[in-house]
Each structure stands twice: as structure tokens, then as C-alpha cells.
């Protein structure tokens, strides 16, 4: 999963506005950040196998420390425990939601990955394989991302002019008889 991971961060922000959005963005991708670091260190493994899925050629054949179910639970609990002392989030509920954001990554990866997500260590691998159905995989990503953004925009208040402009409704000409297309057409030229 790619941009779809950000859907839960917008959705969680809409119910827990006290959690910074940047923190939720990091939380939902924490597992992949750790994965990239461990791949660069040679601890977890990926190779290119053209055609291994219809969407991308990544054979993610060894990633027990970031993408096993046990590891995902570990990262989620660790994030929930550390986010309060490190970042000063005040409520336990906020910390739990940050943990849930971290865990959402594994759940969404489960939808799209081929069976390369171990339940623990490097064994009992699962994955529902939507990457082999690119149109469905793309649609799921779009629904997640835009669904989360809609929730966020509906429930939060813009704090600056950029946010207010983004939220401005389109002008409704029909509510103002003087501004309706018919009235504007009747107005003499130069009458402003
Ligand atoms: Zn991932």
C-alpha cells in the first residue's frame, strides 16, 4: 500500500484533533521507515522479481522485524508507550490512537501484499494480494486516502487563510437574485 496509508491518519485526526497531523503521518508509515532503514543495513531483504505482482516487482522475502504481525504489534505498543513522555501528548486515548495508527499500516498492507507478511518471525506468511488486481488496489488506495481527507475536512476547523480558502463553498448564484445569470444578463453594461 502506498498513499492509502495516510487515510487512517486523516480519520484519526478528525476524532482526536489534539494529535498533530505530522505525527500521525509518521505513525502510519513508521513500519516502512524502519523497513527502509533495515533494508539499507542489510537486515531485512527485498529483491526485484519482474512480474511477481501485477503492480510492482518487489519480492519482500524477509522482513520479520517490521512487517510480521508480532512486530507490528510491538511497534504499535512501543509507539503508544513512548509518544506521551517523548512528545507530551496529554491523554491516554491520544497515545492509544497513535498506536492504532501504527498498527493500521500492517492491516492495510495485508490487503495489497502477496503472502509475504509473516505472522511471526519469517513464517506463516499472509497477504490478500490486491496488488495482483491493480484497478482494485488503486481504487482501495484512493477511497482510503480521500475518505480520510473528507472526514478530516468535515470535522476540523481551518486555522489559517489557506485552510479557509480550501474550505470555501463554491459561490451559489441562485440564492442571490441580483447575482443570478439571468439578472447579470439584464444588467446594463458598466453597471458593475
Ligand atoms: Zn509496509
For the chain, the domains span 3-156
Dist CA 55 CA 22 (whole Å): 28
Helix (H, G, I), strand (E, B) or coil at 61: strand
List C-alpha distances in Å: 186 to 26, 105, 178, 180, 189: 56, 58, 10, 10, 9
Cα of 156 from ligand 1 centre, angstroms: 28
Dist CA 40 CA 44 (whole Å): 8
Cα of 109 from ligand 1 centre, angstroms: 6
The answer to whether the beta carbons of residues 115 and 129 sit under 8 Å apart is: yes
Confidence at residue 12, expressed as pLDDT on a 0 to 100 scale? 95
Cell output for 93: 486515548
Give this prediction's pTM: 0.79
Cα of 105 from ligand 1 centre, angstroms: 6
Enumerate residues 6+ apart whose C-beta is below 8 A from 49: 57, 58, 59
Cα of 31 from ligand 1 centre, angstroms: 6
Residues having C-beta closer than 5 Å to ion ligand 1? 32, 109
Cα of 181 from ligand 1 centre, angstroms: 52
pLDDT in tens, 74-108: 999 999 999 988 887 778 899 999 999 999 999 99
pLDDT in tens, 109-158: 999 999 999 999 999 999 999 989 999 989 998 999 999 999 999 887 77
Cα of 32 from ligand 1 centre, angstroms: 5
Confidence at residue 155, expressed as pLDDT on a 0 to 100 scale? 83
Q: Residue 54: how many CB atoms within 10 A of its CB?
A: 13
Amino acid at each position: 500500500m502506498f498513499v492509502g496509508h495516510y487515510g487512517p491518519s486523516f480519520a484519526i485526526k478528525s476524532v482526536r484533533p489534539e494529535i498533530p497531523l505530522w505525527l500521525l503521518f509518521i505513525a502510519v508509515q513508521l513500519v516502512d521507515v524502519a523497513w527502509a532503514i533495515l533494508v539499507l543495513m542489510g537486515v531485512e531483504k527485498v529483491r526485484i522479481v519482474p512480474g511477481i505482482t501485477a503492480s510492482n516487482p518487489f519480492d519482500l522475502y524477509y522482513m520479520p522485524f517490521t512487517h510480521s504481525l508480532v512486530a507490528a504489534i510491538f511497534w504499535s505498543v512501543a509507539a503508544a508507550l513512548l509518544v506521551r513522555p517523548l512528545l507530551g501528548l496529554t491523554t491516554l486515548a491520544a497515545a492509544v490512537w497513535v498506536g492504532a495508527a501504527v498498527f493500521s499500516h500492517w492491516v492495510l498492507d495485508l490487503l495489497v501484499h502477496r503472502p509475504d507478511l509473516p505472522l511471526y518471525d519469517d513464517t506463516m506468511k499472509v497477504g490478500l494480494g490486491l496488488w495482483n488486481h491493480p484497478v482494485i488496489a488503486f481504487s482501495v488506495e484512493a477511497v482510503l486516502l480521500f475518505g480520510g481527507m473528507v472526514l478530516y475536512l468535515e470535522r476540523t476547523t481551518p486555522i489559517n487563510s489557506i485552510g479557509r480558502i480550501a474550505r470555501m463553498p463554491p459561490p451559489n448564484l441562485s440564492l442571490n437574485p441580483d447575482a443570478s445569470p439571468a439578472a447579470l444578463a439584464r444588467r446594463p453594461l458598466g453597471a458593475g
